Copies of this chain bind each other. A is one copy, B any other.
């Protein structure tokens, strides 16, 4: 056995409705998560690629958000209609879906020396 070839985490966090950033749950993350799990399974990716729900990934304004490791590729604004392309192009073929990728400069992470 081995580590998973790829590991996708999808934000299913639910925020207060009055938070101006919105939240992935309100934007339909449950449907996207289910579609991703089903599509990955049907494509024969069981235990090759793992799809997991996760708590808040801190990119609320970009929701529905998911991240694929070990590449650390972030997707934003994901809908159920995008799922087949993510699975086929990226999870199977290793080619990220460029039109959905959140650029690094729009992510909330920082390097240790950025203060």
- What is A's interface to B at a CB cutoff of 8 Å? 1-5, 7, 9, 47-48, 50, 52-58, 67, 69-72, 74, 104-112, 114
User: Which residue of B1, B54, B110 is within 8 Å of A47 (Cβ)?
Assistant: B110
Q: How far is the CA of A79 from the CA of B108 in the complex (A)?
A: 29
Copy total for this chain: 2
Contact B5–A48 (Cβ < 8 Å): no
A56 nearest in chain B by CB position: B52
Contact B2–A52 (Cβ < 8 Å): no
A102 nearest in chain B by CB position: B3
Interface centre among A52, A110, A114 (most CB of B within 10 A): A52
Which residues of B lie under 8 Å from residue A74 when comparing CB positions? 3
